[in-house]
Amino acid sequence: MKQIYGLMLAFIASSVSYAQIDLGAGTFSGGIESTSQWYQTDEDLGFEQPNDPFRSNNYIRLDYNYGKFSAGLQYEAYLPSALLGYSDRFNDNKIATYYVNYKGEHLDITAGNFYEQFGSGMVLRSWEDRQIGINNSIRGVRVAYTPNDFTTIKGLIGKPRLGFETTEGTVGGLDIETNIVRLFDKENYSNSVTAGFSYVGQQENYTGAIEDFPQSTNNYSARLGYSGNSGVYINAEYVYKSERPSFFSQVPTEQYYDGNGLLVNLGYSTKGFGINTTFRRLENMGIFAQRSLSEPAENLFNEGIVNYLPALTRQHDYLLTNIYVYQSQPNINFIEKEAGEIGGQLDIYYNMPKGTLLGGKYGTKLAANASYWNGLNAEFNEAGTEYTTNFFDFGRKFFHDVNFEVNKKWTDKFSSIITYMHQYYDKAIVEGGNYSHIIANVVVGDFLYKFNPKNSVRFELQHLQTKRDRKNWAAALVEYNLNQRWNFYVGDNYNYGNDDEEERFHYYMVGGSYAKESTRVSMNYGRQRGGLICVGGVCRYVPENTGFTLTLVKTF
């Protein structure tokens, strides 16, 4: 009951804050997001209803702005516990983050919890994504100074968030970025050459028995980028991570390893056409603000992470294209004798003009994507405690994805998206366990018919073919938009090809939503297929389950 009262008080506080907007002393803004689930026993899936079948994740955000000053907080309540697939550290209800900020013409100062990113994020990024249970905001002080409109200097120190607490280690950083062209020609806005340097240090006390144990570590990053009127752009970043100890069953060892990362992007874009290529190499690049969290097998929820290393693959939108999703493999894997990953991604977009043979009356959009990821060709010693690598050697194949998409509008009312995907997936590497590689082919047809500008129906037909793992799948979904407010859908994933006929399950779902202005309410009932749920290339694991889900989102 105390937890429920706390949540009620937070809602009342948000209403009072909203009422104060008219007082003329600054402005309030904020939002409420609540996701609740009621789990039910499903004997077919082998899922037993937990002791606390009702679970709810709730977030209330309040921000106040007055001139150059602002302040805010986020209240969180996990009642009586967090949804399945979230860390057990989310086990309370109280104010989780807070901040005060001053932002002048050249100076920006924040005390409390803040989010920051240096460069591409390979050396530091703090961010929040509630869907995958990540909030590694830093609690401390951040200062940003912009002496002109092309140079920024940032410094910070603090402890990243860990559940409702903070990590044992402290993170400090400095970042400098400037436009070299503008540095020498302040009126040149047509071309840009940016250069940046970042330093991120970590400090955590140690009281164990290992002599000369490193209590501080250092990470350095340098980057350079170019863009101009020609449509060509290129940027590169290199990161060096100093030596730090490895862990075995959360116990530090006397084996120390350094790491490094290289990221290169090259692309060209013009009207109706674009191409982008990305190359990345990561060797032992996981950076954590608490040493005990640096063992990947023991850190299932990406807790205490300091940097951002997403999977650089296409982020697919459909049910069956997300069964075999890749997670980046930046860490040393002593079981599989791997030390990181190397690979890249290619994206091509082309719009066929209207009135051409293939473009037709409305034009046609084509997209192709390919990603290819391998392990480093690391050679471990017999004891498995030391290894060597050559920088550009490709080792064991982890993953590839080649996909094509045709987006075509046929009439004023009817359009379609056809997608084909071919995948190679090393399940042992990505998910662990004794699995062989999987080769899968997926075809998706996505069709939309508009009865009028506000009323439409969309339906999907999907098929996944593979000779391994759980074998073939079929899926279908129908979505009806009654108007701009009401939406309904029903769908099903069917694992019809499973060798075990008793495990040829239907993962059905039915639901809908209502939206009005800044409020959206959605509800669904069905089965959740177990596996990885990913947002922006970062994933969390969700066990198979069955039940009701209710979501409320309100902003003001």
Mean pLDDT, rounded, for 380-404: 92
pLDDT, tens digit, for every residue of 87-113?
999 999 999 999 999 999 999 999 999
Q: Tell me the C-alpha distance between 105 and 145, whole Å.
A: 9
Q: What is the 3-state secondary structure (H, E, C) of 239-267?
A: EEEEEEEEEECCEEEEEEEEEEEEEEEEE
pLDDT at 24: 63
Whether residue 144 has pLDDT greater than 70: yes
pLDDT, tens digit, for every residue of 427-468?
999 988 777 899 999 999 999 999 998 999 999 999 999 999
Whether residue 14 has pLDDT greater than 50: no
How far from 271 is each of 266, 268, 353, 362, 368, CA to CA, in Å? 18, 11, 10, 16, 17
How far from 168 is each of 36, 275, 288, 290, 307, CA to CA, in Å? 31, 44, 11, 6, 17
Contacts of 449 by beta carbon, 8 Å cutoff, 6+ apart: 413, 414, 456, 457, 458
pLDDT, tens digit, for every residue of 512-543?
999 999 999 999 999 999 988 888 889 988 99
How far from 473 is each of 320, 496, 532, CA to CA, in Å? 8, 6, 17
Q: Which residue has the tokens 């400095």?
A: 174
Q: Tell me the C-alpha distance between 307 and 301, whole Å.
A: 14
Q: Tell me the C-alpha distance between 328 and 316, whole Å.
A: 16
Residue whose C-alpha is closest to residue 376's, from 395, 362, 361: 395
C-alpha 381, offset from chain centre: 35
- The per-type count for the chain, helices as H runs and strands as E runs, is 3, 33
Q: Tell me the C-alpha distance between 76 and 85, whole Å.
A: 17
Domain extents for the chain? 104-304, 310-556
